[in-house]
Structure 1
Amino acid sequence: MEEKDLQKLSETEFIDQYKKTEKDKYEKPSIATDMAIFTVATKKVTDNRKKADKELQVLLIRRGGHPYKGDWALAGGFMGIDEDVETAVQRELKEETGVDGVYAEQLYTWSAVDRDPRMRIVSVSYLALVDQEKLPPLQAGDDAEDVRWFTVKDRVTESRDERVDGTVTRTEKIELKLVSGEVIVSGTIEKITVTEGANTRTAVTIIERNGIAFDHTEIILYSLERLRGKVNYTNIAFNLAGEEFTLPDLQQIYEVILDKELNKVQFRRHVENMVVDTGKEIKTGAYRPSKLYRYNAAWVYEQWK
């Protein structure tokens, strides 16, 4: 039936005819979700005179089957035909972390033609943050050999700028290193950012991949960039802090996210309206008691005034 004839039908008739003659004309990609699930873990200490350090960790699953069998990948899965992406993400988060109501925000849609050797798969990635204290013991699913929290380290190993006729091209090589006990995996990307006036475009290529499946090196680094970009002007870090926390612990969370030390006075000035004193104290090790605070839920609304 020609297009002009199709448009003479009622909408119900049109949809019925379309399903019979047009629906299967085009090869369809599958839709998946990939989730960069982060937590902040506290290292164990045997000397109570020392304060326990914290570290940023990401959840990875060791693949039990092809492709990339034995490599480590982000949590995720395919979206069901009767699901929307948000429903699929919350289902996967519950399955992987055992926790309901996990903070998750959509990051980016990854659609490179060759990103998965099996078939055409478009993935919608999410950044998720989980409070360590709420996490049950990890348990690998049926299609995984292992599941672990990996400490995250990244660094720029090379950076150069070129300026030609008002166009600035920055080329960076960024290394990602993930460590869990004796298991170490890594990847390196080349990131080229071209700025012409107010217009900026970026291209990323994975140039080295050691044990990280698919394009997940790029997704993890992109997630880190988003997390760091938001931590200074939003309440996002409080999703990693628990219901009650000390200010030194909160500062450590900011520091492990930003990967740098912060000035104590400036930090407390930054968060003073974001926290509420609970009136309680906690004593840890040989240190004097510290005040316990909670997040000030009214802070968000105060920003709108």
Structure 2
Amino acid sequence: MTDKPLVNKRGQTEQEYLRTYDASQFERPSVTVDMLIFTVVDEQEENYRKLSPKSLQILLVKRGEHPFLGQWALPGGFVSPRESLEDAAKRELFTETNIQNIYLEQLYTWGDVGRDPRMRVISTSYMALVDSSTLSLQAGDDADEAEWFRIEDKWLKETKTATENGTVTEKWLELRLVNAKEELSATIKITKTIANRIVQEKREIVDAGNIAFDHAKLIQYALERLRGKIEYTDIAFALMPELFTLSELQQVYEVILGKELLAAAFRRKVADKVLETNQYRKHAGHRPSKYYRFNPEWMEQS
């Protein structure tokens, strides 16, 4: 006995419904992708006895077309109807910066109505932590320049108000992006509402500075997520050479987290993620330090 196909209230099978479906009855927004590419680099250190200080940096492109002509933005662009989001992200990153063959992790989807002055645009953002010394930047497509910017963030103030069902906490944060040629600054407000044990969080840009679209908000959110991921994943090891000292690894953690860590506590924290070797780092002005390597089986041990 053959089962009859299901029909809707108008007596249509799925095939009949799809043949007569009118896609124009709904306004269709455009879809874009934005890439947040982070790296940690060595800064100049005059005292050769110390490890070179490091800084966390993000890749930006200078827009060569309206809107926001001449302002700095995340690499990104529109998704074509015949490609996946991930394929679009890889294509746009390559055409705008010449970067390819890196792992991109989907971060968040942004859908505020007024985020693009041209039209209704929904954007999916991707994040990566890379070793910039292995990359060759070259601006292309509608990007006039592609540059790394050092990231600095600072909490400005915080207020907390009790409500009938919970609390409303408002925080203001300054985001600064700096390189040898330019300094960008934006102010972001984060509102966290707790009502009847339901938590909601909203981000809004108070002052975008010279950062295009709502990308200051995307950068702040990605930085927050990156700091969370470094605590429970092996993402930091994407920046490390095959052999490294624990002091070098600790510096990478500190620059991403934006705070100093106690050496003993840090070593306990990463103990399962590293393997001790019999080799030592020997360098003028430094005491010999033992080399370690990443333990690819650390997840199985935890």
TM-score by length of 2: 0.91
Match of 2:292 in 1: 293
Which of the numbers 2, 8, 13 marks the counterpart of 2:12? 8
Deviation larger for 120-129 or 46-55: 46-55
**Deviations 1:188-225, CA, capped at 9 Å, x for gaps:** 01111111243110122211011100000100000011
1:5-84 equivalences in 2 (<5 Å): 5=10, 7-9=11-13, 11=15, 13-18=16-21, 22-84=22-84
1:137-148 equivalences in 2 (<5 Å): 138-148=137-147
1:95-174 equivalences in 2 (<5 Å): 95=95, 96=97, 98-100=99-101, 102-136=102-136, 138-174=137-173
The residue type equivalent to 1:35 in the other structure is M
- CA distance in 2 between counterparts of 1:252 and 1:90 reads 30
The residue type equivalent to 1:73 in the other structure is A
Deviation larger for 294-303 or 250-259: 294-303
The alpha-carbon deviation at position 275 of structure 1 amounts to 0.6
The alpha-carbon deviation at position 14 of structure 1 amounts to 3.3
1:144-223 equivalences in 2 (<5 Å): 144-223=143-222
The alpha-carbon deviation at position 301 of structure 1 amounts to 2.0
The residue type equivalent to 1:14 in the other structure is Y
Match of 2:252 in 1: 253
Unaligned runs of 5+ in 2: 1-7
User: Given that residues 189 and 206 in structure 1 are in contact (C-alpha distance below 8 angstroms), is that contact kept between their aligned partners in structure 2?
Assistant: yes
**Deviations 1:130-155, CA, capped at 9 Å, x for gaps:** 1233222x111131111100000001
**Deviations 1:143-185, CA, capped at 9 Å, x for gaps:** 1111100000001101111113351111111110000113001
- CA distance in 2 between counterparts of 1:107 and 1:261 reads 26
1:240/1:165 Cα in 2 relative to 1: closer, same or farther (>3 Å)?
Answer: same
User: Given that residues 186 and 207 in structure 2 are in contact (C-alpha distance below 8 angstroms), is that contact kept between their aligned partners in structure 1?
Assistant: yes
- CA distance in 2 between counterparts of 1:189 and 1:8 reads 51
The 3-state SS of whatever aligns with 2:232 is: coil
**Deviations 1:238-268, CA, capped at 9 Å, x for gaps:** 2222333221111011101110000001101
The alpha-carbon deviation at position 92 of structure 1 amounts to 3.4
- CA distance in 2 between counterparts of 1:158 and 1:204 reads 15
The alpha-carbon deviation at position 279 of structure 1 amounts to 3.1
**Deviations 1:21-52, CA, capped at 9 Å, x for gaps:** x0122221111111111000111335422320
TM-score by length of 1: 0.90
The residue type equivalent to 2:45 in the other structure is V
The residue type equivalent to 1:8 in the other structure is Q
- CA distance in 2 between counterparts of 1:199 and 1:254 reads 32
1:75-94 equivalences in 2 (<5 Å): 75-94=75-94
The alpha-carbon deviation at position 94 of structure 1 amounts to 4.4
1:98/1:285 Cα in 2 relative to 1: closer, same or farther (>3 Å)?
Answer: farther
- CA distance in 2 between counterparts of 1:236 and 1:217 reads 23
Deviation larger for 293-302 or 58-67: 293-302
The alpha-carbon deviation at position 10 of structure 1 amounts to 5.5
1:163/1:10 Cα in 2 relative to 1: closer, same or farther (>3 Å)?
Answer: closer
Instruction: Give percent identity, aligned residues only.
Output: 43
Instruction: Name segments (4+ residues, structure 1) moved above 4 Å.
Output: none
The 3-state SS of whatever aligns with 2:216 is: helix
